[in-house]
Structure 1
Amino acid sequence: MPENSLKHIVEYQKAGNPVGIYSACSSNSFVIEAVLEEARDHNEVCLIESTANQVDQNGGYSGMTPADFKAFVLAKAKEIGCDPAKIYLGGDHLGPLTVAHLPEAEAMAYARTLVHDYVKAGFTKIHIDTSMKVADDDPNERLSDETIARRGAELARVCEDAYQELLKEDPNAVRPVYIVGSEVPIPGGATEDNSGMQVTRVEDFKNTVATFEKAFKDQGLEETWKDVIAVVVQPGVEEKDAGCTEYDRAKAAELMASIKEFPNIVFEGHSTDYQTKYKLRELVEDGVGVLKVGPGLTYGAREALFSLAYIEENMFHGREDETSHFIDVLEKAMLETPKNWAKHYHGNENELWFKRKFSFSDRSRYYMPNPEVKAAMDKMFENLRKEGINLAALSQFMPMQYTKVREGVLQNDPAELVKDRVKNTIDEYRFATHQNEL
């Protein structure tokens, strides 16, 4: 059976070669297309992940099951001309995350179906996350590592069985690799700035590894343990409203040194959004083989959409009744359904107004599929295509894209401009990971 070449990250890291990969955690079409185009244009691999609340057996908030999400990505790849063999699909925070209000028996039954469907659909990177308490866990006691690992190993057992099912349909199906641990905020972002974030203690990291290894052995999964390539830790980074908590090598030095004791494991770093490309490179050099990024990518797309809205507004001055009013339509959608931002944004009315539009946490990403928002975006694109985007306005609001348009390497088209803004962020991760070597 084919080996999962994501294991090469471990081989490179242990040989002292700082190679990693960035993981695009998004279902946004502009982001997916930008990631695939970058992989095509640079002849590189790419890793695209969906989270347990985004894609699940019932459709998640994206409306897609794991099989749907895979079909969506592969359809985009075919349109773009990206070799599907270069695409890795991952499942992030797979476990009882979205059903933690249920008792263990019911929550774990849901989680078993969830991981089964991801593996059966052909996802080849599985983050098992059972770190959250369920309804019958003691709310006043810390969830023990043993409980977390036991539940995680139960899900790994299901993953292995699902892979055997997949092999009957596709004898060349690649084995999944596994990620364990969860020293990070919940998917979607922290609900408070910084949320008491601290660098993972070395003893906690080592205990996570030891308890998971034992739990896998108890499930008869000694061989599967060899496919665990990374452990999630908190190296001291976090995205938040105002940007991020920047990586500090000195504060994380003891943790990073400890990974050298484990020849088959690297670190996976979550919430790396908005780190500079140099800090991202330091993370990879220090042992973080996988850099997760989500809001940082959709923020780039949102930023470009707002720039286009400002261009439209100025080009259509005096003809406001013809414009899309994209920013206002988005604001209306967010106010009508506040559940996706209300717990994450804090402040007075003026501060909330600002954050709904410009927060680095980018909760607006949840509203882009809204039919009225989508219709406004389509109208804005139609207006700009019909009139032709004025170069002076493009220079004012999207100067980097203006230069590329003038140089003839970028089409002066709204959708292409949005994707190129996303690629600005992707290129910072490519600089950090050296993933062209994978």
Structure 2
Amino acid sequence: MTNAVLTNLAKSRTNGHPVGITSVCSAHPLVLRAALRQARRLNKSLLIEATCNQVNQFGGYTGQTPKAFVGFVADLAAQEDLSTDRIILGGDHLGPNPWRKECAESALAKAEEMVGAYVEAGFTKIHLDASMGCAGEPVALDDETTAERAARLASVAEKIARRRGATPPCYVIGTEVPIPGGADHALDDITPTSADAARETLEIHRRVFTKHNLQSAYERVIALVVQPGVEFGNDNVIPYAPCNTSGLTNLLNEYPAFVYEAHSTDYQSEEALSQLVQNGFPILKVGPELTFALRETIYALDMIASEIVEGYGARPLAAAMEKIMNDEPMYWDSYYKGSTRNKYIERHYSYSDRIRYYWGKGKAQEAWLNLENVLSRIAIPATLLSQYLPDLSLTPAQVSSPQAIVMASVERVLKRYDEACNARPRQ
């Protein structure tokens, strides 16, 4: 579909009626089903984004290339009776991040190939993220270097779109990009990007893109990623403080064609999300909170089955996940610190939800299918639902389906985002 929904975000803001859109950053099939189902029910467009680590030309941690992911989403959409014309596909953090331990030229060459694969597959929203240093470079790069590398990636995207005869993509740029997936430590405070820094980023990118004859690509830059002072770590969440971003909000009056893209909005209140939309951050990215809700509900069902299904065992799904994570620690080991007990708690319950990297593993899928099978054959007593899922409102049809119970939990998160995206400012 066209990106009119995205390009209209700035227009809606300048017309005094800001609206937002939820960016669903997940590759889990139940999360995507829940999002597709909500979009169909509300008759709305759906923005789904895949990250450079989830999906790339080598498969990412999901094992899917961009082309495979597009087919995967299309199959789910068909099953949920939602036209793919209503789906916007975005690529998140597209740049050298997966290969940043390599030298810059090697990492950028792979990033070019990845961006090309995304555009070739039909992704129409591209987040150009070349802000991180590669081997031998500073952790965060200056605006000039970042812009040069972003232009290099945009050039590839433009060529592929022209070759395909496809609508060229819209872009998101930025240099003060929050850590993908959340911080890896406790947070006390986050300093928002200054208006001066954001202005400089926009101007440098404009100049660099023009230098490389990419003016038309720059005209399709719809959003800038800045730090709005919103973040989450393993154990805590920094709530949005609107008073700290007034300078950024006012800056959009100088650049009426732009809005901000808000990363790491997971776990924010509906009021905070609504304030972000009203203040010029209408693209609300959420990912770990969705799989956090999924994990909470699956673990609750695991405990319910342990209580009522003879021979099921004592939380075998949670035990399976613990074994999988310990057998393959690469996705959590460098993120969780402290005692053995603390690492255990973080593996299973942290806000950063790095357990999400493991749901696609064979043993994890076996454990889930076993749980789904045993609970599908019985009626879960209302008293146990009250004990383990007290805040989840379920229909009788949902109660009989473990998959529907999990999706209801995810939809509850998505509903909060939808309400925030369409809220009107308080008088």
Q: Same fold (TM over 0.5)?
A: yes
With over 3 angstroms needed to count, the CA separation of the structure-2 counterparts of 1:414 and 1:352, relative to structure 1, is same
Aligned to 1:63: 63
Shift of 1:186: 3.2
* Deviates most, 226-235 or 12-21: 12-21
Unaligned stretches of 5+ residues in structure 2: none
- On the 8 A contact 2:394/2:408 being kept in 1, the answer is no
**Is 1:255 equivalent to 2:245 in the alignment?**
no
* Partner Cα separation in structure 2 for residue 36 and residue 2 of structure 1: 18
What is residue 161 of structure 2 aligned with on the other side?
163
- Please report how far the alpha carbon of residue 371 of structure 1 lies from its aligned counterpart in structure 2 after TM superposition: 1.1
- TM-score (normalizing by structure 2): 0.95
Whole-Å Cα distance in 2 between the matches of residues 3 and 368 of structure 1? Answer: 31
Letter in 2 for 1:271: S
Q: Report the count of equivalent residues.
A: 424
The corresponding residue for 2:86 is 86
Q: Structure 1 136/351 Cα, relative in aligned 2: closer, same or farther at 3 Å?
A: closer
In structure 2, do the counterparts of structure 1 residues 322 and 355 end up closer, same or farther at CA, with 3 Å as the change threshold?
Answer: closer
Please state whether the residue corresponding to 1:423 is helix, strand or coil.
helix
* Aligned counterpart in structure 2 of residue 179 of structure 1, from 172, 180, 191: 172
Deviation per residue, 1:377-432 (Å, 9 max, x gap) = 1111111111232222122212344x4325x6x45210000000000100010011
Asked if structure 2 preserves the Cα contact closer than 8 Å seen for 1:91 and 1:126, the reply is: yes
TM-fit CA distance, 1:258: 1.5
Comparing 199-208 and 272-281, the one that deviates more: 199-208
Tell me if 1:276 matches 2:264.
no
Aligned residue in 2 for 1:352:
343
Deviation at residue 196 of structure 1 after TM alignment = 6.8
**Deviation of the 1:323 alpha carbon:** 6.8
For 1:348 and 1:129, the matched residues in 2 are separated by 35
Contact 1:277 1:429 in 2 (8 A): yes
Partner residue of 2:33?
A: 33
What pairs with 1:4-403 in structure 2 (closer than 5 Å)?
4-137=4-137, 139=138, 143-167=141-165, 173-194=166-187, 197-316=190-309, 319-320=310-311, 325-401=316-392, 403=393
The percent of aligned pairs where both chains have the same amino acid is: 36
Q: Distance in 2 between the 1:103 and 1:321 partners?
A: 50
**Aligned match for 1:433, one of 415, 418, 421:** 421
| RMSD of aligned alpha carbons | 2.0
Q: AA paired with 2:211?
A: D
Q: Partner of 1:404 in structure 2?
A: 394
Give yes or no for the alignment of 1:423 onto 2:394: no
Do the aligned residues in 1 keep the contact of 2:189 with 2:238 (CA within 8 Å)? no
Q: Distance in 2 between matches of 1:134 and 1:189?
A: 20
Residue deviations 1:278-330 (CA, integer Å, cap 9, x gap): 100000000002011010100010011011011101113xx345676111111
Q: State the alpha-carbon separation in 1 of the partners of residues 339 and 2 from structure 2.
A: 55
The structural deviation recorded for 1:88 is: 0.5
In 1, Cα distance between the equivalents of 2:394 and 2:189? Answer: 42
Residues 323 and 383, structure 1, Cα contact 8 Å, conserved in 2:
no
Give SS of 1:32's match.
helix
Provide the secondary structure at the position in 2 that maps to 1:132: coil
d(CA) in 2 for partners of 1:388, 1:329: 25
Structure 2 CA distance for aligned equivalents of residues 309 and 321 of structure 1 = 9
Per the TM alignment, residue 254 of structure 1 is displaced from its structure 2 partner at its CA by 1.8
Q: 1:42 to 1:348 in 2, by over 3 A?
A: same
1:70-114: CA deviations, max 9, x gaps?
A: 100010000010121110000001011111122222221111111
| Contact preservation (8 Å) 2:178, 2:227 | no
For 1:404 and 1:236, the matched residues in 2 are separated by 35
Measured in 2, the distance between the counterparts of 1:33 and 1:248 equals 33
What amino acid sits opposite 1:115 in the alignment?
Answer: V
1:346 and 1:101 mapped to 2: Cα distance?
22
C-alpha deviation, 1:189, in angstroms: 2.7
Greater RCO, CA 8 A, separation 6+: 1
1:146 maps to a residue whose letter is: E
CA distance in 2, matches of 1:186, 1:62: 20
Do the aligned partners of 1:25 and 1:292 also contact (CA within 8 Å) in 2? Answer: yes
Aligned partners of 1:3, 1:376: CA distance in 2, in Å? 40
Does the 8 Å CA contact 1:51/1:92 hold for their aligned counterparts? yes
Letter of the 1:148 counterpart: T
Q: 2 CA distance for matches of 1:204 and 1:4?
A: 28
- SS at structure 2 position matched to 1:178: strand
Maintained 8 Å contact 1:315/1:390: no
Task: Note if contact 1:2-1:175 (Cα within 8 Å) is conserved in structure 2.
Answer: no
Q: Which residue of 2 aligns with 1:170?
A: none
Conserved 8 A contact 2:336-2:346: yes
Question: How far did residue 361 of structure 1 move?
Answer: 1.2
TM-score with structure 1 setting the length = 0.92
Structure 1: tracts of 5 or more residues without a match: 168-172
Helix, strand or coil: the match of 2:377? helix
Secondary structure in structure 1 of the residue aligned to 2:64: coil
